[in-house]
């Protein structure tokens, strides 16, 4: 049985999860309003994992992520304006508009890179963890990746070397394949693997692992705290499999805000949880789940929650304005910042 986190910690995580959610609602809005085109991936439904995991990293630690990276970058503390501008390909973006959604990162915050190549976060992460080990300061690297990363050959090499060299790497596998099989509604599973338990893969290489409910902040917090302590003490990698259900909006190949703009009144009971996504609102939306829990803590909780939401929405309004006002990179700068 996992110990419940203290209330102030829960509020802190809730504030971050809400910002992550409002951020992605803005991404969809910017896309629908044609401020940018192209494909992108939403982290909606997985916020509890990213928020509770990344909150435990220190400034000296580093992180890599995947194509589904918006939540991680925000959780690490990136400014929403430049992050949104980057997704929109604008010059004011974190990477001056050169990376876009797939390569969203913030190296100044130790967010080394994100890889659009499935499995890339594990191999880049092994490199990041090797650098941490060379520093000899107890710092760690966290590699966030999806379940299907374990189909990729590079994952096996990176897990092997991480184990052999006892690299301080927290391997955070976000398994969102549950409920992803409903092909009649355009769904698809991201994982096709001969192993019926993903934990057996790191297990075969001597890497300890734990499976948790990725929508429960206490479980994520406890597992990540254990993994970070394991890494900092020089014992090598640890693997966490955080289970979430695939959010309906990510089932079609092109993301849709199918569950609507998040209405916190669904947590207070002032708005009904009904329709096609009733079960998701009730059981799988980590933001509503934590909101319901916090509302029970005191009579003042509702006011506090609404204040946090106003703050998150205002921050995103400013971020939208920043991104829209930011120009596209000038064509004559195309060859600047080019490595080779």
3-state secondary structure of 216: coil
Instruction: Please say which residue, 13 or 65, places its beta carbon nearer to ligand TPP.
Output: 65
Residue 94 token pair: 């974190």
Cα dihedral value 206, 119, 220, 74, nearest 10: 150
Report the residue from 56, 95, 160, 190 that binds Mg ion according to the rule CB under 5 A: 190
Instruction: Please say which residue, 31 or 177, places its beta carbon nearer to ligand TPP.
Output: 177
Give min distance, CB of 6 to ligand TPP, in A.
31
Instruction: Please say which residue, 26 or 177, places its beta carbon nearer to Mg ion.
Output: 177
Interaction between residue 147 and Mg ion (CB under 5 A) = yes
Out of ligand TPP, Mg ion, none, what residue 293 binds, judged by CB under 5 to 8 A for its kind, is none
Instruction: Please say which residue, 149 or 238, places its beta carbon nearer to ligand TPP.
Output: 149
Instruction: Please say which residue, 139 or 284, places its beta carbon nearer to ligand TPP.
Output: 284
Burial 139-170 (b: 16+ CB within 10 A, else e): bbbbbbbbbbbbbbebbeebbbbbbeeebbbb
Q: Which residues bind ligand TPP (CB under 6 A)?
A: 41, 67-68, 116-118, 146-149, 152, 176, 190-191
Instruction: Please say which residue, 49 or 148, places its beta carbon nearer to ligand TPP.
Output: 148
Out of Mg ion, ligand TPP, none, what residue 68 binds, judged by CB under 5 to 8 A for its kind, is ligand TPP
Give min distance, CB of 334 to Mg ion, in A.
34
Give min distance, CB of 254 to ligand TPP, in A.
13
Which residue in 177, 198, 174 sits closest to 187, CA to CA? 177
Instruction: Please say which residue, 149 or 257, places its beta carbon nearer to Mg ion.
Output: 149
HSE (side-chain half, CA atoms, 13 Å) at 251: 18
List Cβ<8 Å contacts ≥24 apart for 303-312.
304/11, 305/14, 305/264, 305/267, 306/264, 308/11, 308/14, 308/15, 308/18, 309/18, 309/22, 309/264, 311/15, 312/15, 312/18, 312/19, 312/21, 312/22
Question: What's the rounded Cα separation, in Å, for the pair 197 and 136?
Answer: 34
Give min distance, CB of 149 to ligand TPP, in A.
5
The site map against Mg ion for 89-128 (x = CB under 5 A) is ----------------------------------------
Report the residue from 64, 66, 115, 176 that binds Mg ion according to the rule CB under 5 A: 176
Q: What is the separation of C-alpha 262 from the centre of its chain, rounded to a whole number of angstroms?
A: 18
Interaction between residue 189 and Mg ion (CB under 5 A) = no
Out of ligand TPP, Mg ion, none, what residue 291 binds, judged by CB under 5 to 8 A for its kind, is none
Out of Mg ion, ligand TPP, none, what residue 99 binds, judged by CB under 5 to 8 A for its kind, is none
CB distance 308 to 10 below 8 Å: no
Burial 183-221 (b: 16+ CB within 10 A, else e): eeeeeebbbeeeeeebbebbeebebbbbbbbbbbbbbbb
Give min distance, CB of 145 to ligand TPP, in A.
6
Contacts with Mg ion, residue ranges (CB under 5 A): 146-147, 176, 190
């Amino acid at each position: 049985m996992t110990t419940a986190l203290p209330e102030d910690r829960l509020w802190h995580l809730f504030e971050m999860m809400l910002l992550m959610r409002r951020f992605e609602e803005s991404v969809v809005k910017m896309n629908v309003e044609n401020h940018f085109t192209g494909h992108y991936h939403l982290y909606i439904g997985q916020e509890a994992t990213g928020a509770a995991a990344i909150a435990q990293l220190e400034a000296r630690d580093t992180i890599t992520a995947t194509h589904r990276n918006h939540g991680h970058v925000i959780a690490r503390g990136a400014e929403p304006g430049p992050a949104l501008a980057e997704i929109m390909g604008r010059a004011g973006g974190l990477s001056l508009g050169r990376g876009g959604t797939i390569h969203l990162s913030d190296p100044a915050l130790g967010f080394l890179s994100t890889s659009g190549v499935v499995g890339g976060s594990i191999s880049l992460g092994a490199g990041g963890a090797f650098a941490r080990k060379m520093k000899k300061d107890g710092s760690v690297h966290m590699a966030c990746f999806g379940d299907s990363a374990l189909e990729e050959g590079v994952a096996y090499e990176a897990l092997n070397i991480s184990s052999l060299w006892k690299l301080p790497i927290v391997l955070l596998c976000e398994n969102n394949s549950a409920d992803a099989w409903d092909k009649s509604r355009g769904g698809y599973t991201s994982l096709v693997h001969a192993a019926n338990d993903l934990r057996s893969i790191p297990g075969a290489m001597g890497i300890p692992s734990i499976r948790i409910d990725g929508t429960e902040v206490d479980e994520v917090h406890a597992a990540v705290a254990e993994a970070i302590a394991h890494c900092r003490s020089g014992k090598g990698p640890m693997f966490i499999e955080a289970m979430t259900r695939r959010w309906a909006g990510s089932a079609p190949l092109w993301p849709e805000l199918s569950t609507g703009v998040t209405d916190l009144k669904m947590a207070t009971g002032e708005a009904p949880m009904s329709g096609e996504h009733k079960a998701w609102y009730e059981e799988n939306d980590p933001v509503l789940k934590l909101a319901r829990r916090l509302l029970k803590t005191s009579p003042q909780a509702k006011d506090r929650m609404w204040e946090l939401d106003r703050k998150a929405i205002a921050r995103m309004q400013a971020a939208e304005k920043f991104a829209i006002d930011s120009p596209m990179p000038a064509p004559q700068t195309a060859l600047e910042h080019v490595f080779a």
